Amino acid sequence: MKTLLIDQIESELGTICLVVDGGKLCALDFADYSDRMLKLLTAHFGPVDLVAATDPGGFSSQLRDYLSGNFDIINHIPTNPGGTAFQQQVWSALRQIPVGTYWTYGQLAAHLGKPGAARAVGLANSKNPISIVVPCHRVIGANQSLTGYAGGVDRKRWLLEHEGVDCNRIGNRRPSGGSNKKAGSNTMVQPSLFDA
């Protein structure tokens, strides 16, 4: 069983969980999506044992700095997201989208040299295990809608606005169907995720 370090920080977006392996961030998700996070970690590592730690790798402090407005700091956090070769290409490209900007899924696919692969790019984006640091929130729908964020559209809007994007110019349309959890939910990770 793989042992990983986990920390939680409180934020305006709710409780955020960070998981670290060998000095690299391998997961970052919201506590109310801890089941998704655990599923992605298991797909990457097999069975995992999450051990509570304080500021592993200094990443919790760096995330707090980002949330306080030091946007550049997340560009220097080393990551280990796992995934297929194509997913890794997509996730690497996400880190190239500048702060304060956004791309459509089609633009991201074109950037990768695969202009017809917007759906595949969207699927890879949805499997991103490292929210915020691998900024999948900077990708929007072709119709300029704020869609496709695993943490919920309200959180996506908050992150984009935090980074300086005027969401009144984009994303006025809400995606139809599905449900998104409201930003600010403070649901805690189930205690069973932590080592006793």
CA–CA dist 61, 63 (Å, integer): 5
CA–CA dist 66, 108 (Å, integer): 24
Q: Is 17 considered catalytic here?
A: no
CA–CA dist 72, 177 (Å, integer): 35
> Would you put residue 34 in left (φ > 0), alpha (ψ -120 to 50) or beta?
alpha
Cβ-contact 184, 12 below 8 angstroms: yes
Tokens encoding 156: 């996506």
Cβ atoms within 10 Å, residue 101: 11
Tokens encoding 13: 């977006």
Of the candidates 89, 77, 133, the residue with the CA atom closest to the CA atom of residue 113: 89
Measured in degrees and rounded to the nearest 5, phi and psi for residue 43 equal -65, -35
Among the listed residues 17, 26, 136, 167, the single catalytic one is 136
Cβ atoms within 10 Å, residue 22: 10
Residues tagged active-site: 136
